[in-house]
Amino acid sequence: MGKIVEDGMSILNPNIETMDRKKLLELQLERLQMVVNQAYSNVDFYRKRFDEIGLNPDDIKTFEDLKRIPFTTRKDLMDNYPYGMFAVPLRDVVRLQFPLGMYGNPIVIGYTREDLNIWSELVARIMVGIGITEHDIIQVAFNYGLFLGAVRFNQSAELIGAAVVPTSIASGEVQVRIMQDFRSTVLASAPSFALHIMETIQRKGIDPKTLSLKIGLFGAESWPEEVRQSLEENLNIEAYEIFGVTELIEPGVAGECLAKNGLHIFEDHFFPEIIHPVTGQPLEQGREGELVLTTLTNHAYPLLRYRTSDVTSLNSQPCSCGRTLARMSKVLKRTDRMICVRGINVFPEKVEEVLSGFEGIGPGYSLTPRGKRGMNDHLTVGIEASPKILGGKEQERISLKQKIQLAFRRAVGIGVEVEFAKGEELS
Ligand SMILES: [Zn+2]
């Protein structure tokens, strides 16, 4: 499967991935007009939006016209919970996903069989692009319970004939044992968890050269370049990034190639824009701003100009790998207050929601993520507590802390440390 280009790099879908950009723009425009029509005809939310501002789907003839369509935000998705954003009847939907840790109403994302097939191909494109073949054994150490896209690695690996070992979040010891026994050649995980596995290997005094590992595929949280260097050196691998957006597909919107010089966005399925996060004005190419994506082929859940809150920049110059798809820079910042701990998204709004379920605490609180090398693996929640609680019995405070910790685990999916404080100590 795939075509080997001159320099030995492999491309799964060369017709698309190396398409002349003029032709690509034509394809995008054609698909854009289709998705706008589909959204207008089948999603009440979009029909109302368009009617309110007197916009007709047929008015969208160019990419310039796209700017006339208002942004779609996370709040819109919540307001239309559960099925208000769906463009197909439920009988055509074969997968429903709702990300934990969102605040307010949950978000439910639907996929048709065709949507899932496309998604699998996109992750497979990334795998092939970084040299994964049917000879590889991919150890998937993503949290299958909380990172909804983890299962996509299984489907995509099947597409290219590679073997998958879903180790999920088994302990570092177990991961290393499996890595040795099964001779895993690829590690796919959140970078913070890869660091944890790396430290286990070091603690056990294992020489990474004795492992079969050669490739790392990391995503679900942002990671600085120094983490890449550390993982590459200490695990004796080449490390690549895979990127996704929870509300569209995650992972699989974009991924790095062997050049490690930006993440190719799958522009045949997503139309990217970069906007100023405050004014909403589109920015010229190369400028850093908020990534806005329009889905071009989603059947069940089309999103027009969706604000991702991820900060990046775009580059459509040709890449040394031969791909013509634009590249986005590594996402290291967000426009909202979301923080990421061990690959799990934590919204401050969700924290407030959890705290509001208890008496005598809040409204003040503080979030202190901790971890090595700029990656968060612990979260301490400082909580304003009433004098009655602070001056009360130790046993009662411990019991309340445990209840709050349990509520966090249920609502956000991670364990946190809880500390009580006076309100003024938290500012
Ligand atoms: Zn490339």
pLDDT attached to residue 1: 46
pLDDT exceeds cutoff 70 at 176: yes
State pTM to two decimals. 0.94
Cα-to-centroid distance, 367 and ligand 1 (Å): 38
Cα-to-centroid distance, 37 and ligand 1 (Å): 33
Strands 3-4 and 314-315: unpaired
Chain centroid to CA 210 = 32
Spatial neighbors of 83 by CB under 8 A, at least 6 apart, are 90, 108, 110
Q: For 88-137, how does the pLDDT look when each residue is reduced to its tens digit (9 = 90+)?
A: 999 999 999 988 888 888 999 999 999 999 999 999 999 999 999 999 99
pLDDT exceeds cutoff 90 at 305: yes
Mean pLDDT of 17-30: 98
Cα-to-centroid distance, 7 and ligand 1 (Å): 12
- As a whole-number percent, the residues of the chain with pLDDT over 90 amount to 90
Cα-to-centroid distance, 347 and ligand 1 (Å): 33
Cα-to-centroid distance, 313 and ligand 1 (Å): 16
Q: For 232-274, how does the pLDDT look when each residue is reduced to its tens digit (9 = 90+)?
A: 999 999 999 999 999 999 999 999 999 999 999 999 999 999 9
- As a whole-number percent, the residues of the chain with pLDDT over 70 amount to 98
Cα-to-centroid distance, 319 and ligand 1 (Å): 5
**More confidently predicted of 47 and 5:** 47
Cα-to-centroid distance, 336 and ligand 1 (Å): 29
Dihedral-angle region of residue 94 (phi above 0 means left; psi in -120 to 50 means alpha; beta otherwise): alpha
Cα-to-centroid distance, 33 and ligand 1 (Å): 28
Mean pLDDT of 270-297: 97
Cα-to-centroid distance, 48 and ligand 1 (Å): 40
Cα-to-centroid distance, 157 and ligand 1 (Å): 21
What is the C-alpha to C-alpha distance for residues 304 and 68, in angstroms, rounded to an integer?
A: 11
Cα-to-centroid distance, 262 and ligand 1 (Å): 7
Cα-to-centroid distance, 373 and ligand 1 (Å): 27
* Token pair of 84 as six digits: 């208000």
Cα-to-centroid distance, 226 and ligand 1 (Å): 21
Cα-to-centroid distance, 67 and ligand 1 (Å): 28
Cα-to-centroid distance, 112 and ligand 1 (Å): 30
Q: For 410-424, how does the pLDDT look when each residue is reduced to its tens digit (9 = 90+)?
A: 999 899 999 999 988
pLDDT attached to residue 427: 62
Residue 285 has φ and ψ, to the nearest 5°, of -60, 140
Cα-to-centroid distance, 232 and ligand 1 (Å): 19
Q: For 25-81, how does the pLDDT look when each residue is reduced to its tens digit (9 = 90+)?
A: 999 999 999 999 999 999 999 999 999 999 999 999 999 999 999 999 999 999 999
